[in-house]
Amino acid sequence: MSTNSMSDPRRPNKVLRYKPPPSESNPALDDPTPDYMNLLGMIFSMCGLMLKLKWCAWVAVYCSFISFANSRSSEDTKQMMSSFMLSISAVVMSYLQNPQPMTPPW
């Protein structure tokens, strides 16, 4: 099969379909940021709810936003939404229980 450089290099009979690479180990290896941020967000929102610390709840909101921004498209949106809702509820509950403004630690 000799091909001239002038001729068309395309070969329609040799088309191979795209196979997404196996995703068992790769996503976690490539970039663990969204998973860490998700976990951190949940921990902070639980702290904020249990210990009634407003700053914990705000940090949880930030963590869930960062996790969302870094997430892969293959990831479950339900997980993302649940952590987001949890952090928002932590903030709201902290303010309902104690409407005083947040005091800076310094």
Partner 1 sequence: MKTLPAFCVVLLVLWSVSEAKFDDFEDEEDIVEYDDNDFAEFEDVTEDPAPESPQRVVTTEDDEDEATVELEGQSENQEGDFEDADAPEGDTENEPYDDEEFEGYEDKPDTTSSKNKDPITIVDVPAHLQNSWESYYLEILMVTGLLAYIMNYIIGKNKNSRLAQAWFNTHRELLESNFTLVGDDGTNKEATSTGKLNQENEHIYNLWCSGRVCCEGMLIQLRFLKRQDLLNVLARMMRPVSDQVQIKVTMNDEDMDTYVFAVGTRKALVRLQKEMQDLSEFCSDKPKSGAKYGLPDSLAILSEMGEVTEGMMDAKMVHFLTHYADKIESVHFSDQFSGPKIMQEEGQPLKLPETKRTLLFTFNVPGLGNTYPKDMEALLPLMNMVIYSIDKARKFRLNREGKQKADKNRARVEENFLKLTHVQRQEAAQSRREEKKRAEKERIMNEEDPEKQRRLEEAALRREQKKLEKKQMKMKQIKVKAM
* Binding interface with partner 1 (CB under 8 A): 1, 3, 5, 9-12, 14-20, 58, 61-62, 65-66, 69-74, 99-104
Distances (CA, A) of 66 to 14, 26, 53, 91, 101: 43, 21, 21, 17, 25
Compute the least distance from the CB of residue 54 to partner 1, in Å.
8
Minimum gap (Å) between residue 98 Cβ and partner 1: 9
Burial of 36 (0-12, 13-18, 19+ CB in 10 A): middle
The Cα–Cα gap between 60 and 66 comes to 10
Structure tokens at 16: 């191979």
Q: How far is the CB of 26 from partner 1 (least distance, A)?
A: 10
- Cβ closest to partner 1, residue 5 vs residue 78: 5
Backbone angles phi, psi at 72, to 5 degrees: -85, 155
Q: To the nearest whole angstrom, how small is the minimum distance from the Cβ of residue 68 to partner 1?
A: 8
